[in-house]
Amino acid sequence: MFEEKLHQFEPIFYPRSIAVVGASQNKLKFGTRYLDSLIHVGFKGKLYPVNPAGGEISSLKAYPRVRDIPGPVDYVMVAIPAKFVLQVLDDCAAKGVKVVQFFTAGFSETGTEEGRQLEKEIANKAKEGGFRIIGPNCIGVYSPANLMPYGPMPVLGQVGSVAFISQSGGHAGSIIEMGMRRGIHFSKVVSFGNGCDLDSVDYLEYLAVDPQTKIIGAYLEGVRQGRHFFQLAKEAAKTKPMMVWKGGKTEAGAEAAASHTGALAISDTIWSAMLRQAGVIKVDSLEELADTLLTFQHYLPFLGHNVAIIAGLAGGGGGESVSSTDACTSVGLNVPPFREETRRRLKEILPPAGSILRNPLDMGGVGGFVDILEKTMEIVVADPEVNIIIINEHMDSLASFLSWETLGQMNDIFIRLRRNQEKPIVLVSRPGLGSEQRVALERKLSDAGITIYPSLDRAAKAIANMNWYFRFHRGWQ
């Protein structure tokens, strides 16, 4: 059964040929932008522009209709007005196309009987013609392993093990962009819009058995097969961490979801309870989703929830220690006092004035002294009561009086510790000016498997999400 599911989805995420209906000489049209993105990233398969005028588009021969294309076609992307799509589907059936993705909107999301009826008709055409539909009203697939960019985005990120299912094309694009900036490495992403044929249940069935996917994220506005979805999620989450962001929690949000993708509202209380019972993490924003995906991608499972917080690398760590403790304890993490032996060893190397030797640890502004920082980190990591270490680094603040070379040496300490022992090391650094040196340093940390969060609140929430998942699935709740 697994092999059959993988085979069914191969033309969706690994097509060998793509036709773009709606490509034209107008470089601003979505169809042309999508075609040009495929060309730009070096898609290895066959590409076929489809336009009634024929001729040549983006240096490729264009065909008036899909059925006129001489070779086999796996995947067809449609970006033309809704009133013309039925004829295209007849051509797809005649050609033996495997999957049709509709960027085209104007279906059930309009709330009109005409739109709902047209959506039913395209679903029926697909069933009769033996092909599947992605959409309508969606941007479609991102498959970096197959050199398939996301719609008009002419870039590809590093291939990884994170998959993302989204009813929103915009949210899918945003999570891909975040991933490229912060080092989330995707196996595949799909936005499916109205989901008149393939919907969240179908994609979850596939991702649950996809060997390239180890972590699953989703943005959903509603599900048509609620019981089946949650049973699938429960089974998938046993082996693959899964997190879901539900849109339309409020009455106004539910109304917006209905006009966005035609989604049916589900009570947020019921939704939250069912996710928890299934062992699925519920997140409440795109930022929390990205933070949690990164945490799972970078760190091994850990069941302990005792956090050591290091502050005051650049001075003034007292208030930050208080707010950091609040951020952790408010989401169920512990900030226990260091053992007496740990405090004694810290007292030997840290200055008595300005430093606070309990947990959180205020270093009294000596974080730039690399030898002291390294010894401090080794002592804190060695404390048996500590399961994870959070460092308030704030790179731009440090860079105001330290050289970037020194900052690099400081971060090399964190990287060595990350490699040489199992306790997670995470960094908090407020967004800054995005200097070339900072971007390079953040990339180096990400490549070493160290996650950087823009605030301690976000770091704490992501860590708590991961901790809850592993404790739940090992019966520690």
| pLDDT value of position 266 | 65
Q: So what's the pLDDT on residue 353?
A: 62
Q: Which of 80, 103, 137 is the last residue of a domain?
A: 137
pLDDT below 50 — which residues of the chain? 250, 252-254, 257-260
Q: In this structure, are 154 and 271 located in the same domain? A: yes
User: In the chain, how many domains are there?
Assistant: 3
CATH number, domain with residue 398: 3.40.50.261
CB atoms within 10 A of CB 348: 8
Range 399-432 burial, b when 16+ CB lie within 10 A, else e: beebebebbebbbebbbebbeeeebbbbbbbeee
- Give the pLDDT of residue 52: 97
Task: Report pLDDT for 260.
Answer: 45
In angstroms, how far is the first alpha carbon of the chain from the final one? 33
Examine the domain organization and report whether 33 and 115 are in the same domain: yes
Residues 329 and 453 in one domain: yes
- Do 112 and 156 lie in one domain? The reply is no
Domain edge (last residue) among 298, 324, 340: 298
Instruction: Verify that 255 and 166 share a domain, yes or no.
Output: yes
Answer yes or no: do 339 and 266 share one domain. Answer: no
Let me know whether 247 and 159 are in one domain.
Answer: yes
pLDDT at 312: 86
Are 157 and 264 contained in the same domain?
yes
Pairing of strands 186-191, 140-142: antiparallel
* Domain stops at, among 252, 281, 298: 298
pLDDT digits (tens, 9 = 90+) for 244-296: 999 855 454 445 544 445 555 567 788 889 999 999 999 999 999 999 999 99
On whether both 218 and 133 belong to a single domain, the answer is no
Within this chain, do residues 279 and 330 fall inside the same structural domain, yes or no?
no
What pLDDT score was predicted for residue 315? 63
Element (H, E) at 327: helix 318-329
pLDDT at position 257: 46
Range of the domain at 288: 145-298
124-179 residue pLDDT tens: 999 999 999 999 999 999 999 999 999 999 999 999 999 999 999 999 999 999 99
Structure tokens that stand for 168 in this block: 């929103």
